[in-house]
Amino acid sequence: MDTPDEIRTLQHQLPILYGEAVNSKIKLWDISVFTINHIPTIITKHGYIHGKIQTNFKPVDIGKNIGKSNYINPLQNAFNIANFIWVKKKESGYVVSGHPAAPADELAEPEDYNKNKNHNPSNMDVPSVMLAHDFTPFTPSHFSSAW
């Protein structure tokens, strides 16, 4: 896919995931969304650290719900697919960082993932619960109290 006229622009990068293989080697897995010649493409890289890394390309040239009010363009569709795959891979046992065999420069997480790591729950303003109103029996005006 690397041709001289190719225009490649990074659109979305998710954190690299690490996992341990059954042979005790460390696996890495990376997914990102590029536009290649104006076509959104999901690029997945996987393999062993200090080993061969395989790269897979998946162009996403159509959106979803075309002609409807909830239309999703191809780029947003590629973002959604990449996020879904990343979450599934993380749920399967891969971790974002913290593995001792992972390179130190790849362990840094984006700021979005570090926002709530050092929060103190005692300093947070907890909203109060909305209680129910007092119960007053409903008596319409057309009923008389003679009943």
Beta-bridged to residue 29, according to DSSP, are 17, 46
Between CA 53 and CA 70 the distance in angstroms is: 38
Residue 88 has pLDDT above 70, yes or no: yes
Q: Is 91 within the bounds of a domain?
A: yes
**How many domains does the chain divide into?**
1
The parent domain of residue 45 ranges over 8-97
Q: Is 105 within the bounds of a domain?
A: no
Model confidence over 42-57: pLDDT tens digits?
Answer: 999 999 998 999 999 9
Q: Is 117 within the bounds of a domain?
A: no
Q: Is 34 within the bounds of a domain?
A: yes
Residue 110 has pLDDT above 70, yes or no: no
| Structure confidence at residue 143 (pLDDT) | 59
| Structure confidence at residue 138 (pLDDT) | 66
Q: Mean pLDDT in the chain?
A: 77
Q: Is 22 within the bounds of a domain?
A: yes
